[in-house]
Structure 1
Amino acid sequence: MKLRKRLTILSSITFGVIFLIASTIIYGLFYKTNETSVIKNLKKTALVTGIYYLEKDEQSLQEHNNIRREFENLISRDDIAVFDEFDEVAYGKMVNDSVIRPFDLNQVRKKKEHVINTRNDFYYGLYYADNQGDFVVFVKENKDVFNTLMNRLLYILVIVLVLGLFIIYLLSRFLGNMAYEPIQKIIDQVRQKEIDRLNEPIRLQQSYSEIQELVETYNDLMAKASETFVIQKNFINYVSHEFRTPLAAISGSLEVFSQKDRTPEEYQEVASRSIERVKELEEILNNMLLLSGAINSKDFMFFRIDEIIWNIVEEVTVSLKAHIHVDFKVENVGLLSVKGNEKQLQLALYNLIENGLKYSENKPLSISLSEKENKLHLVIKDEGIGIDENDLPYIQQTFYRGKNVGDIKGSGIGLSLASTIFKIHQIDFKIITSNQGTEIHLQFNPPLF
């Protein structure tokens, strides 16, 4: 069953149940109110009847005439019975009424009043003590008017229930369609998506905040999924291209080398070249494993960022014979202590420094740490070839390499890996470049984890 239909049915059932409960309460209260009003009038009639019949000897003629007029206006004598102490009708014409039993007369004498409610009539009995004796006055009123009022009320409630259910059903369908419309638009857009267009966001011109939140969450998920597909696609292309060269070189060298006997020096040369190619493959695989695992790694702790920089500077100075100028201007030493994954950040900074040296032919490189607005800022500046303006939007994508790198070796992984690591650590990452060099700006924000 569709959600819209289910909501419509549930809304109608809910309205019906609530209305039935409310109608029962209304009907019961109205019935009780009318019954009380009728009994009150019958009580007044019974009292006037008792006075008219039993107090005649104690009243003046004028008083008796006034009572008689009121009595005649209230009730017919056919609906009156005044019983004496022997349960005989002393006054009135309601004789041999099968509804009034000795039990009812005794109830009146015991409780001073008694009500009998039959299908067609109301009876009210009143105990009346007089100097002539103790009497029981019973008066009756037909329920035709009462039943007519109650039936009309019942008809009205039934009609309102039926109309209400019909209106609620239509309104629920309308509101359900209106509420479901943005969801249907989302479904239509998702159905039209192709695997190579997952990064295109779903767009809704106007929607509810909950639906908009769902759309934004879906768009974020699809953007990440699209990035994953791009990485996978690039990985296949990269493996097929980059791995083929060192593997072909190793295979070719071994095939040529195996055709005849070689000198120990030739053995050594081929082994060295093969080891170099294998190390190249190993480095590529290690970077790929780091890139794939960096997103899920959350092993964070506090460490000193300046110590990492000094370690990197010492390593590249020895291995690459580089010239690096380091300038630290941080008064608040506490800013140097950052929270994150030390190995990941060290790898990211190493890649940036190594790229700066590699693409500047080992020209001097400068690293500066400063404090701005109580935040730690790191700038890595080289004097290399820079990044082409057209390449800048794509340079952080995995396996992407600028068009101006020439014959400089590289895999296109280092900058992408560094960008991913900085994103995990909430570190703002900015690249400023020209044909005279590149500046990498990093801002370390307070940890959010």
Structure 2
Amino acid sequence: MIKRPNLRKRILTGLIIYTCLLTVAVGLNGFIVNKKIETLVWETVLNLEIDYFYKDINSAPPSSIESTKLYWYDQNKGDLIPDEFNQLDNGIHDNVNYLDKTYVIRVIESNKNKQVLALDITDIERHENKMLLFTILLTIFAILIIAFITFKQMGKLFDPLLKIADQLKMISPEKDRIKIEVLSYEYYESSILTTALNDYLQKSEHYLNQEKVFFETASHELRTPISVISGAIEVILQHPDTTDRLQPHLERVSRITAEMEDLLAILLMLSRSKERLAQYSESIDLMNEIPQLIQYHQHLCYTKELNILNNIRTSFKLTAPLQLLRITISNLLRNAIENSDKGVINIYLEDNQLIIHDPGHGMTAEQISDLYTQRARNNETSMRGIGIELTLKICNHYGWILQFESVQNQGTKSILEFKGLES
């Protein structure tokens, strides 16, 4: 079975990826804007403080500078500037670490002497890091909440559809009641779909019932006149006034009448359910049945250089209605005879498969195989007997598998697999 992608997972994954990308884009934009604003703020604050000091350039910084976490260093007055600050170029520098603290620095350089104003922003940075961590955690929580809500809401959409699909798997056309249970918690759309499917199933059930009734009625109505014809032909064949010239024609009519009786029997059986049909099943040994079927069809080979070879030497038992099995195999054997001119038709068993291998005639093996396949697909019943259509119907009814396999320059194999049966 082909593994198909899960739509719910794809939608959920796509939404999470979209939310993460959107969060990263918004967060990155906020970070850039924040950094620019922060730079402008520090520049404004430090410039104001420097202007304050420049009011009296000869005066020392106020004694309260350290308490305000603001430090002023002036090489013109012989102040020793820390190496971490002294190596900085002219301008504003953010997040400069010194003695386990974080500073924002304003460096003014003139005549190879530097003036440095340092503002301790350690507490501000700690607060900023906490806010960043809180924002990340809040974002992750928001993504999880969005994913959870989306998953639950999609479940309300998909779960009813999956339950409907499960119910459809359990429904069999042979059951008396074909209906999907309407779920009480379904939304409007799911309810509409369920109702529409139930309407369709009811129409299908009605159609199937009509088909069964037609099969039964047609079989019963036709059986009586055909039985009358069959009985009359038997009387005529045994009548002393019947000439030898009429004998072959009457025998042909008798044979065709018997085939019609088989066809009516099969139609009547197929109109029944599997449970009812099981009453007609019996244990059948193909090793005993195949010789009888070969003998019954031997007359079709008289006008051809054709022989039928039975290679079944071991017992192969299965359980099925005898008439169904006989007509199925007979149809395949008749087709093999009709599509061959001369040679040998081999009948043998391979695992759980009955194989009828014909030599073919005038056509390549591929052409014959294509012909069989095309007939089966188009439901063509031009062949005598019940035709491929009813043969396929029997196979579908019992889970048997019918297929055709071409053999290079050796005709065609008709392979009937009795799946699930033990030989």
Instruction: Indicate the TM-score class for this superposition, using the shorter chain for normalisation.
Output: 0.3 to 0.5
Bigger radius of gyration, 1 or 2? 1
- TM (normalized to structure 2)? 0.44
- Select the structure with the greater relative contact order (CA < 8 A; seq sep ≥ 6): 1
